[in-house]
């Protein structure tokens, strides 16, 4: 299991989750509209879930159906940031 950040983070990017993460698995760049959790580094500690002021973080197995695509977006950011950013922009336009 890992955790995923969903649409509530878009354009909020509070960074509280990054501050509390004990393994520094949550990342973002200045040009990003949200934060991303590295599924290979996440240790499932749930600290980020509690820290998120907009309730944007879910366990991958508990992610609501309408937000399941964020599992792919989060993973994609670690493979191709520009592609993931385009996916986020497309989601926000809906």
Angle between helices 69-77 and 81-93 (to 10 degrees): 150
| Residue-level pLDDT at 10 | 96
- The continuous run of DSSP H or E covering 5 comes out as strand 3-5
Query: For the chain, which ranges sit under pLDDT 70?
Result: 1, 94
- The continuous run of DSSP H or E covering 87 comes out as helix 81-93
Tokens 């399941």 found at: 68
| Residue-level pLDDT at 2 | 87
| Residue-level pLDDT at 34 | 97
Interatomic CA distance for residues 27 and 40, integer angstroms: 13
| Residue-level pLDDT at 94 | 60
User: Which residues share a beta bridge with 59?
Assistant: 3
Interatomic CA distance for residues 60 and 83, integer angstroms: 21
Q: Which CATH class is domain 3-93?
A: alpha beta
């Amino acid at each position: 299991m890992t955790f995923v950040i969903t649409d509530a983070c878009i354009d909020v990017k509070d960074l509280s989750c990054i501050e509390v993460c004990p393994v520094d698995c949550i990342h973002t760049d200045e040009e990003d509209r949200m934060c991303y959790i590295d599924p290979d580094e996440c240790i499932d500690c749930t600290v980020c879930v509690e820290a998120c002021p907009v309730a944007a973080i879910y366990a991958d197995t508990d992610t609501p159906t309408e937000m399941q695509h964020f599992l792919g977006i989060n993973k994609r950011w670690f493979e191709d940031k520009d592609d993931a950013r385009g996916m986020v922009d497309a989601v926000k336009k809906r």
